[in-house]
Amino acid sequence: MKQSVLITGGSRGIGAAAVLAFASAGYNVAFTWHHHGSAAEQVLARAQKIAPDRLILALQADAADAGQVSTAVRRAEQELGGLQALVCNAGIAQQKLFTDTTDEDWRRIMSVDLDGAFYACRAALPGMIHRKYGRILLVSSMWGQTGGSCEVAYSAAKAGLIGLGKALAKEEGPSGITVNVVAPGVIDTDMMAGFSAEDRAVLAEDTPVGRLGTPEEIARTLVFLADEASGYITGQVIGQNGGLVI
């Protein structure tokens, strides 16, 4: 079977690494982007170079907009001939004390990080249920497992993804669909741009394996979990954090 995947937020970081990893693994790949249009073009060109015989599609869609997400899923299904896998990766973070968090901050994080996954799963599931096969992967965070100080809204949204993934795994298992959550630790992407060199050194030192993670490491886990052979893994939270959460 020629496999197809849709990855949300594929213009950079973990999402971009996932686009390239799935293309390398022989998938037809659609990815959404909202910001960083020129970065999305570069990811598209790199993926096409890696897999010239595969369909690679870049679709502009705000993860927080149900209509745009649903349109992107429909287009991916039509142009790639159905979706076997969905990776809900689009996300934003914010470092702020809880007492400074406004309604707007809270809603923005929830709408991109949690609602966005709900919209994408809801749009992609009917096709997967119809074909009795699917792999859904939600990119959460170790803060969704443990809670992060100064990242309360983000932690709540990422914990929400864990609940979403576990419940969906139970509901959709009988339809041949697995749902798993990947919870990265500190991964060296643009999301870390606000951290100083000193902060990064401290983070690396605090991590048992002594370094930050790479987007490619997370991408490889996503490809592994999306594989047909991973069908007995479902409802799990796969921590990938260098030992920060044990």
Residue 27 known to be catalytic: no
Distance CA 150, CA 99 (A): 9
123 binds ligand NAD (CB under 6 A): no
Distance CA 150, CA 148 (A): 6
| Shortest reach from residue 13's CB to ligand NAD, in Å | 2
With beta carbons less than 8 A apart as the criterion, state whether 110 and 118 touch.
Answer: no
Total of residues contacting ligand NAD (CB under 6 A): 32
Strand order, beta sheet including 28-33: 56-60, 28-33, 4-7, 85-88, 134-139, 177-184, 237-240
Part in contact with ligand NAD (CB under 6 A); list of ranges 3-11, 78-86, 129-137, 166-174: 3-11
x/- track of binding to ligand NAD for residues 181-220 (CB under 6 A): ---x-xx-xxxx----------------------x-----
CA distances (Å), origin 46, targets 28, 50, 75, 188, 246: 14, 6, 21, 20, 36
Phi, psi for 213 (deg, rounded to 5): -85, 165
139 binds ligand NAD (CB under 6 A): yes
| Shortest reach from residue 1's CB to ligand NAD, in Å | 28
132 binds ligand NAD (CB under 6 A): no
Using CB under 6 A, list all residues that contact ligand NAD: 8-15, 32-36, 62-64, 89-93, 112, 139, 141, 184, 186-187, 189-192, 215
